Structure formats: structure tokens, C-alpha cells
Amino acid sequence: MSKTKPTNDNKPYITNHSIFARVYELLSRNDSESSFMEPLRKETAGAAHGLVLEIGAGNGLNFSFYDPKKVERL
């Protein structure tokens, strides 16, 4: 995703996070990350209830841990 930001000299400054996004995706799906993060995801997302707003950078790996019987809307 690219975004432009104003700079002091009125020329646009372009930020690009596509490399970070690709690396994040690769790292978040490896076995060591999964063995560390899955219990945390089960504990936190599994305890959610009612209306849930998930904020942050990521690739949606938490979504499968939300209990549809307890979460009204995500």
C-alpha cells in the first residue's frame, strides 16, 4: 500500500509498505511463529465476546480464533 504525505518543500513523500507486508506474511506463517502465537491467539481472541473491533497491522490470522457463538459482530 502506498500513501503520499506532504513534506516541508510541498513535494509529496511516498511511503511504501509492500515489502514489509510480504515479509510479515511469510514470517507469520512459519512453524516457530505459529507455535508461539497460536496459544496467545486462542487465549485472547477466544475470550472475546459481543462487538469486537480488531485494530492493527496483520494478515487476519486471528479471525479463525474468534468464537462465533460469543462474538456478535467482528
Across the chain, mean pLDDT equals 84
Domain segments of the chain as ranges: 2-73
Q: CA–CA separation, 58 vs 27, rounded Å?
A: 11
HEC secondary structure over 4-63? EECCCCCCCEEEECHHHHHHHHHHHCCHHHHHHHHHHHHHHHHHCCEECCCCCCCCCCCH
Q: CA–CA separation, 34 vs 53, rounded Å?
A: 23
pLDDT, average across residues 47-74: 92
pLDDT, average across residues 60-68: 93
Q: What pLDDT was estimated at residue 70?
A: 97
Could you read off the pLDDT of 15-41 as tens digits, one per residue?
677 788 788 888 888 888 889 999 999
Q: Which has more confidence, 2 or 21?
A: 21
Q: What pLDDT was estimated at residue 33?
A: 84
Give CA angle at 39 (48, 68), nearest 5°: 30
